[in-house]
Amino acid sequence: MSRQRQISVIGGAEADRELLEQAEVVGRGIAEAGAVLVCGGRTGVMEAASRGASEAGGMVLGVLPTTDPEDANPHVTHVIATGIGHARNLAVVASGDSVVAIGGEWGTLSEIAFARRLQRPVIALRSWPLRHRMGTDVGIVEAETPEEAVETALEAAGPSRSARRGR
């Protein structure tokens, strides 16, 4: 049995037009690479990335904070309605083999923290530039372009399970 790579995309429920365009490019790139996009399933960066992935024929898994699957944006292809509010942030990043953070506010920062605690690679695109106070690396790679973010996230995620097994 094989499993596609899953790339979590996190970011704000609101963002400027340039950031939304970049999120859409990231979503499209993830889908074109044959990976599954995992996100919070709502608006802003999540919706833009979902749109890019779904328009490219990809699978989009939306992990909602609410109990109503209808709360998902129209580009989500598979919904998990959790009813656990912000606690769903942990499920979003734990479900990804790597994480792309695009812009974002406090919720995105919490997801970055969860991702790093779980040792998931994080690629930041115009997101929180974090450094440890002692100057040590905190495991966040900053990307300059959406394409670089996708490439780095896919590399960090490693091969799909079928490829790892030589299939």
Q: What is the pLDDT of residues 55-105, one digit of tens each?
A: 999 999 999 999 999 999 999 999 999 999 999 999 999 999 999 999 999
CA distance 24 to 11: 12
From residue 104, how far is each of 55, 81, 139 by CA, in Å? 23, 22, 18
Q: Which amino acid is at 134?
A: M
Distances, alpha carbon 112 to alpha carbons 45, 70, 89, 102, in Å: 15, 27, 9, 11
- Please identify, in words, the CATH class of the domain defined by 6-161: alpha beta
Residue 7 tokens, joined:
């790339």
Assign 155 to helix, strand or coil. helix
Rounded mean pLDDT, 35-47:
98
- Judge contact between 68 and 62, C-beta under 8 A: no
The domain limits of the chain are: 6-161
